[in-house]
Homo-oligomer: A and B are copies of this chain.
Amino acid sequence: MTTGRRGRPGYDLAALLAVAVEVFNERGYDGTSMEDLARRLGISKSSIYHHVAGKEELLRLALGRALDGWSRIAGQASELKAPAIDRLEYLVRGTVGVLASELPCVTLLLRVRGNTEVERDALNRRRTFDRLVADLVAEAEREGDIRPDVDPATTARLLFGMVNSLVEWYRPGRGSTADQELADAVCAVAFDGLRTASPAGPRASRRLLS
Contacts and interface: CB of A to CB of B under 8 A. Distances in A.
Given A28-B28, A31-B31, A194 B205 contact: no
Interface stretch (A13-21, A66-74, A185-193): A185-193
Main SS class of interface, A: helix
Copies of this protein chain in the complex: 2
A165 B157 contact: yes
B157 A169 contact: yes
Contact size range, A: 35 or more
A184 B164 contact: no
B192 A208 contact: yes
B201 A205 contact: no
Interface stretch (A39-47, A55-63, A116-124, A139-147): A139-147
Contacts of A161: 161-162, 164-166, 168-169
A1 B74 CA distance: 51
A198 to B, nearest CB: 7
A53 interface: no
29 contacts: A85-B195, A137-B194, A144-B196, A147-B195, A147-B196, A147-B197, A150-B194, A151-B185, A154-B185, A155-B185, A157-B165, A158-B162, A158-B165, A158-B186, A159-B189, A161-B162, A161-B164, A161-B166, A162-B165, A190-B193, A191-B202, A191-B204, A192-B193, A192-B204, A192-B205, A193-B193, A197-B201, A198-B201, A199-B201
Task: Identify the 3 closest CB pairs spanning chains A and B, nearest first.
Answer: A161-B165, A193-B193, A197-B201
